[in-house]
């Protein structure tokens, strides 16, 4: 009953309402109400980034016993905002859109709708309106405030660049060789015209498929201040409906995106 109250509260809050009675949140965190799933690839020098972007760099500053006799470790890191499991703020492709620090929390957490296209995907596949309609035929219309996640299976190749990006090349010469699935612009347009999702995520390096040269899906969605999550991991561990996502990116002042820790809660 506690977890049902929690779920009901999340739905009400997503709809802008207040529950009559505060839910018991303890069941969410003590393991009795469900389990948490990490949807994040760990960052390392193997993390996949856009071929023209700076990858992840990790520099050891200190590691060991100090002169005072205690252990101490410290490192520096640097990376592009867009690589690994990461967040795209709308400003990434929409002038005037939210920067990373401006995206409201309401767009970073909510019930998850997972659209699975693994049975028909290919390297240049673009998720279609029909794929969304197939999900809705089973579960009803995508609810307002849902986080819409697309499972292509491409994340299974992580962190092998040829499997994820379609090429092992680096730099500008790699861009024409990119092959991975994405979201068709018609699908993005249908979503903004017919549904009201909080955010969109995918298990590939980009919302737009690898061969896109105009990034239309990004532009359509970001013009409506809908943020995105890319290179999301382990979507095979989520049901099509019934889990809840918390996606908290690094809050970079003026940023166009950033590293993302995204997790899902699966109620019992």
8 pLDDT more than 60: no
Q: What is the pLDDT of residues 165-192, one digit of tens each?
A: 999 999 999 999 999 999 999 999 999 9
Buried b (16+ CB within 10 A) or exposed e, 33-71: bbeebebbbebeeebbbbbeeebbeeeeeeeeeeeeeee
- Position 26 scores a pLDDT of 87
Residue range 252-263: mean pLDDT, rounded: 98
Q: What is the pLDDT of residues 70-79, one digit of tens each?
A: 999 999 999 9
In the chain, what are the domains? 1-32 (no CATH), 34-267 (3.50.30.50)
Buried b (16+ CB within 10 A) or exposed e, 221-248: bbbebbbbbbbbbbbeebeebebbbbbe
Q: What is the pLDDT of residues 95-148, one digit of tens each?
A: 999 999 999 999 999 999 999 999 999 999 999 999 999 999 999 999 999 999
89 pLDDT more than 90: yes
Residue 15: pLDDT band with limits 50, 70, 90: very low
The predicted model scores a pTM of 0.91
Residue range 75-92: mean pLDDT, rounded: 98
């Amino acid at each position: 009953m506690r977890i049902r109250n929690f779920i009901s509260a999340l739905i009400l809050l997503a709809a802008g309402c207040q529950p009559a009675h505060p839910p018991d949140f303890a069941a969410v965190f003590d393991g009795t109400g469900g389990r948490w799933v990490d949807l994040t690839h760990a960052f390392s020098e193997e993390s996949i980034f856009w071929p023209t972007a700076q990858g992840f760099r990790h520099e050891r500053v200190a590691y060991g016993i100090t002169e005072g006799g205690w252990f101490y470790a410290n490192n520096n890191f640097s990376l592009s905002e867009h690589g690994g499991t990461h967040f795209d703020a709308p400003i990434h492709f929409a002038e005037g859109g939210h920067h990373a620090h401006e995206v409201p929390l309401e767009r970073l957490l909510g019930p998850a709708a997972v659209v699975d296209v693994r049975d028909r995907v290919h390297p240049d596949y673009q998720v279609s309106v029909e794929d969304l309609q197939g999900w809705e035929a089973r579960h009803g219309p995508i609810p307002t405030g849902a986080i819409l996640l697309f499972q292509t299976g491409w994340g299974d190749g992580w962190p092998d660049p040829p499997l994820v990006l379609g090429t092992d090349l680096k730099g500008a010469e790699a861009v024409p060789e990119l092959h991975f699935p994405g979201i068709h612009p018609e699908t993005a347009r249908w979503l903004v015209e017919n549904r009201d999702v909080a955010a969109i995520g995918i298990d590939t390096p980009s919302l737009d498929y690898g061969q896109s040269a105009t990034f239309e899906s990004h532009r359509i969605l970001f013009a409506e201040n809908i943020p995105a999550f890319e290179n999301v991991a382990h979507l095979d561990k989520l049901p099509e409906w019934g889990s809840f996502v918390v996606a908290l990116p690094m809050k970079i002042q003026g940023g166009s995106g950033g590293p993302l820790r995204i997790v899902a809660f699966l109620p019992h």
